[in-house]
Amino acid sequence: MECPDLSLPPKPPRIGVFDSGLGGVSVLRALRAARPDADLIYAADSGHAPYGERDAGHVLARSEVLTEHLLAEGAELLVIACNTATAVAAAALRARHPDLGIVGVEPGLKPALAASPGGRIGVMATQATLGSPKFRRLLDELLAGAPAGTRIHLQACPGLAAAIEAGEPDSPAVRAAVAPHAAALRAHGVDTVVLGCTHYPFAAGPIAEALGPGVRLIDTAEAVARQASRRIGARPPADAGASGGLALWTSGVPDTLARFVARGLGLPALPVRRLPR
């Protein structure tokens, strides 16, 4: 039996990340900050975006395709960087891949309750996320332990993820998509708003402006990155200066993902390969 060469540095962990499109880049950014040593493989399913406006069967089927692709690319941990896919497909993926660590995202209701000065919380998300049994259980658990008088307004945001998916989060189209949803939240007097779709942090500026001063936005990307970091284990001290790679895949337009990642992560444009459709 051959002994391993202990002089070789350990291989970097490989984390596979997928989203319905560009939104998961917000989680990708947090992952690179939390674990710069890790190799990241990102799959943007922009050719099928947004998942929040697709039926559950379609979301589940695409989630399975993307998971198999990321595993074939060597992923040791899977991050579902999409609230809708987490709500619809996470349980099925865990059952199908019991030995694979899977980290999902969900709307940050608990952080919002902790941050809200008046217990008036809004949740911006897709209808698919808000209507899922997983989210309803999360909401019921939160309300069961919440202080009396806590009010949570659920705001489905059709069209917003699709507008952001075009690749210009500060565009007039995005601002127009934000406006009616922000108006509904203002009418309910919310003081804290959960961004319940990974696309939405990229429109945080227009959302904050439309909501007005004094409304706090809650994004869970950093919490997801910390959880993923814990799942892949501690970073070796000898590896402190290492920098992992980043591989990009899309079922949409490669140049759009390349520009979005370059802007969102502060990197030069990277090559993007095509996903199986």
Residues in the annotated binding site for substrate: 19-20, 51-52, 83-84, 198-199
As a whole number of angstroms, the distance between CA 25 and CA 248 comes to 10
Tokens 């002994």 -> residue: 3
In DSSP terms, 4 is beta-bridged to none
The active-site residue out of 197, 221, 261, 275 is: 197
Output the known binding site: 19-20, 51-52, 83-84, 198-199
Please give the distance of CA 238 from its chain centroid, rounded to a whole number: 30
Pinpoint the alpha helices (H) of 73-188. Answer: 83-96, 109-115, 127-130, 133-145, 160-165, 172-187
Token duo for residue 188? 């309910």
Cβ neighbours for 47, distance < 8 A, ≥ 6 positions apart: 250, 251, 252, 275, 277
Query: Is 157 annotated as catalytic?
Result: no
In DSSP terms, 217 is beta-bridged to 193
Token duo for residue 141? 């658990």
Residue 8 CB burial class (10 angstroms; 0-12, 13-18, ≥19): exposed
Token duo for residue 219? 């994004």
Query: Is 197 annotated as catalytic?
Result: yes
As a whole number of angstroms, the distance between CA 277 and CA 275 comes to 6
Render the burial of 160-190: b for 16+ CB within 10 Å, e for the rest.
Answer: bbbbbbebbbeeeebbebbeebbebbeeeeb
The active-site residue out of 82, 89, 190, 225 is: 82
List, by residue number, the catalytic residues: 82, 197
